[in-house]
Amino acid sequence: PRFDIELWNLFDRVKKDIPRTNNDVESWHSRIKFDARQNLTVAKVVELFRLEQNYTETNLVNLFNGDVLKKNKKKVLEREQKLKRILESYDQSTLSYHLDGLANLFIQKKKVKLLNGSVPENKEQLLSDWCKYFSDLLNNESSSNETSYPEPSADNIEINTESISFEEVEEAVRTFKNKKAPGNDYALTSDILKEGELRNQSTKYSGKTKQDFEQEEAVYSKYTS
């Protein structure tokens, strides 16, 4: 492999129990895209594959929507012939050099090293080391298993034990997204019944519920609290 194993995942960050983020990813991604576009043949092949993928995905969406697909064999054959001509006229050795150049952007080592820093003697030793590497990653035990609760406030906040005022209720209602009070806890309003499958399920068992829904009256039930 041209790219070192440490570049494949966030193994070290997981082992150190730190967030699985890497601020360098975006800059490296942009650098790879820039270098890939310098090779016109690679860029053309990628673009053809992207067009073919978009074409196929669009057809699948149309099929799921019940649309009848139009036969467009001519354009499909044109894309296939164009891709074939590009690949036939392309020097395959250039692709290998191009990938080696991309790999050198990340790391100067041309051989993948083992976890202990040594160079593997054979393929089996390398695969065995990789097996241990990903096994440790999968079975890693976080060092922060205990739930951490916030410290209590140092301020001595005064607790108001008086009755709730109308102004407090009005202020609380304004904080709702739709600025509407939810109503009594023991009632299901018509707005709630109109949401989701609640209306369909409830009308199966009670004709009274259906009548209340049509008249937009609150439904009182012994099962609500």
Amino acid at 3: F
Note whether 119 and 189 are same-domain residues: no
CB-based contact 5:133 (threshold 8 Å): yes
Note whether 108 and 194 are same-domain residues: no
Note whether 19 and 103 are same-domain residues: yes
Note whether 92 and 186 are same-domain residues: no
Tokens found for residue 81:
């012939």
Which of 78, 111, 138 is the last residue before a domain boundary?
A: 138
Note whether 48 and 104 are same-domain residues: yes
Note whether 134 and 182 are same-domain residues: no
In this structure, is residue 204 part of a structural domain? yes
Note whether 208 and 98 are same-domain residues: no
Q: What is the DSSP letter of 142?
A: P
CB-based contact 11:137 (threshold 8 Å): yes
For residue 131, the model assigns a pLDDT of 87
The share of the chain scoring above pLDDT 70, in percent, equals 34
For residue 121, the model assigns a pLDDT of 83
* Count of positions (residues) in the chain: 225
Note whether 132 and 44 are same-domain residues: yes
Sign of CA dihedral 104, 109, 110, 111: negative
Total structural domains within the chain: 2
Domain span at 196: 178-220
Q: How far is CA 72 from CA 53, 69, 77, in A?
A: 15, 9, 9
In this structure, is residue 172 part of a structural domain? no
Residue ranges in the chain modelled with pLDDT below 70: 1-14, 18-43, 45-46, 69, 83, 86-111, 141-157, 175-225
Note whether 106 and 191 are same-domain residues: no
